[in-house]
Structure 1
Amino acid sequence: MKTKIFFLCLIVLIFSSCKQDYSISKIEGKRLEINDSIKADNTVDAFIKPYRDKVNKDLDSTLAFAVDTYSKTDGELNTAIGNFMADALYEMTNPVFKSRTGKDIDLVLLNHGGIRSIISKGNITSRTAYEVMPFDNTVVVTTLKGEQIKELLTYLASRKRAHPIAGLQVILNADGSINRALIKGSEIDYNKTYYVATSDYLYNGGDRMSFLKSKDSLYDLDYKIRNLLIDYFKKIDTLRPTIDDRFIQLKDK
């Protein structure tokens, strides 16, 4: 028994003597800059080059021609580039939506801030679409009832910004109040449900468009806005959008 106790004490003593306390006393770091002074790895560059050349060729192939330069700052409440985007979205997605549901899209709503570049006069390429819409936003169709349509109109009237719209006409009085609003040329029936095409970003509350959140059905078309722009460019020969009367404000007499 005494022998066992002796060995136990000896083991405890050995482990106790081996135990040490460690603590961090100093941390040092060095900043490594990534700049032009770093030499390229020729082996890696040679490996990537064929893929890079193929991507650039695809991006820079001419799809259409723009007769002028278009910017989102060119108009007050609607712009040529914004009108083009909203109209293109309707034209390219309505057939998809109708084939799946038997219904037509009633109106399109995008956001002014989502237009990230101008379209320059001259050749239009896939790169143009990537510059205008660099995000992976997809098209969704939400169902809005009368109260939500009223919120949509109030939002447009209060913001007074050239958010791209199609299928909808909004006329403001000189004081900013709504004079008239039409959907597809007809007076709005606030007892009806309308199908509104927009982006998944806006549907989820982007740009404070919380009214787009559907209480009923939501249709995800799985179609990136950038891709539909490319498809639209391939479909047309010449791009010549205009500023029109889809969203205007009357002047004082």
Structure 2
Amino acid sequence: MGLKIKHFVIFITIISGGSCRHNSTHLSQITSSQTRIDSSLRASGAFDEFIAPYRSRLNEVLDSTLAYAPQTITKEDGQFNTSAGNLIADIIFSEANPIFKSRTGKDIDFVLLNHGGIRSIISKGNVSTRTAFEVMPFENSIVVVALDGHVISEMVDFLRDSGQAHPVSGIQIILNSDNILNSFMIQGKPLDLTRTYNVATSNYLVTGGDNMTFFKKAKSIMDTDYFIRNAIIDYFKKVDTLSTVVDDRFIKLH
């Protein structure tokens, strides 16, 4: 009897093994379909009802008034510096410097951003969190890089020849009528080629974005983990009225 059971177990094992070997699954065909997202799609009442409270709360937060703009602030109102560029660069300076100093014991020397990074005007009237998202929709963070004096000199040449009003704060560039550099000051002092300067910018530009390849020569890089947009929102919360003008931080003599 025991021998018969043993033979039966061996037989079942062989059959099972053979079955496993010959019944493997293979992908034989892939099919796909495309759903067009347009006006022909009907809204889901149940879904709209579900998200309505969240949408309402989000709009309430985005549209709550933080400050007031007495006039429209734009990046198109100056040739070498603009009201929007000056405001955003000054905001980065004021909001990021305390963070940088608390971590390093040093101050930011100046700020350089890119003209294209400002994506919207700030309209005259109430300024809200939504305004900050419109001006700066990107998830760019503030980065502070250490550049030596010779690299700063390259940067000035780039700004002179760029043909765009890239936002700056903490420096002054004056060009002669023939586009030759008349003077360049950092915090009211001439450039010292032997010094290292701490420059606040965005994580996009520090990789050479917008042709600012001189940032790749940084001696050190510190990411503050502070979004530019959040700095703008924090600044809006601190002030009652936004004050900014086209000034003499970057000009050309006639």
Bin the TM-score by the shorter chain: 0.7 to 0.9
Specify which of 79, 84, 87 is matched with residue 84 of structure 1: 87
Paired residues for 1:138-149 under 5 Å: 138-149=141-152
Specify which of 109, 113, 117 is matched with residue 114 of structure 1: 117
Is structure 2 residue 241 aligned with structure 1 residue 238? yes
Q: What is the alpha-carbon distance in structure 1 between the residues aligned to residue 138 and residue 195 of structure 2?
A: 33
> Which AA in structure 1 matches 2:56?
D
- 1:160 is displaced (CA, Å) by 2.9
- 1:30 is displaced (CA, Å) by 6.8
Q: 1:30 to 1:101 in 2, by over 3 A?
A: closer
Secondary structure at the residue paired with 1:182?
Answer: strand
* Runs of 4+ more than 6 Å apart: 27-30
Is structure 2 residue 126 aligned with structure 1 residue 123? yes
Structure 1 gap ranges (5+): 1-22
- 1:197 is displaced (CA, Å) by 0.2
- 1:146 is displaced (CA, Å) by 1.2
Q: What is the alpha-carbon distance in structure 2 between the residues aligned to residue 207 and residue 95 of structure 1?
A: 27
Q: What is the alpha-carbon distance in structure 2 between the residues aligned to residue 187 and residue 101 of structure 1?
A: 24
- 1:38 is displaced (CA, Å) by 1.6
Secondary structure at the residue paired with 1:56?
Answer: helix
> Which AA in structure 2 matches 1:235?
K
- When normalised by structure 1's length, the TM-score is 0.86
Is structure 2 residue 207 aligned with structure 1 residue 173? no
**For residues 17-54 of structure 1, what are the alpha-carbon distances to aligned partners after superposition, in whole Å with 9 as ceiling and x for unaligned?**
xxxxxx99xx9987643222321111111111111111
Equivalent residue, structure 2, for 1:9? none
Equivalent residue, structure 2, for 1:63? 66
Equivalent residue, structure 2, for 1:190? 193
Is structure 2 residue 231 aligned with structure 1 residue 228? yes
> Which AA in structure 1 matches 2:170?
G
- 1:175 is displaced (CA, Å) by 1.1
The alignment covers a number of residue pairs equal to: 227
Q: What is the alpha-carbon distance in structure 2 between the residues aligned to residue 81 and residue 29 of structure 1?
A: 48
Secondary structure at the residue paired with 1:181?
Answer: strand
Secondary structure at the residue paired with 1:213?
Answer: helix
Equivalent residue, structure 2, for 1:213? 216
Equivalent pairs: percent with the same residue?
A: 54
> Which AA in structure 1 matches 2:49?
A
Equivalent residue, structure 2, for 1:6? none
Paired residues for 1:17-166 under 5 Å: 32-166=35-169
CA RMSD of aligned residues (A): 1.6
Q: What is the alpha-carbon distance in structure 1 between the residues aligned to residue 115 and residue 49 of structure 2?
A: 41
Secondary structure at the residue paired with 1:74?
Answer: coil
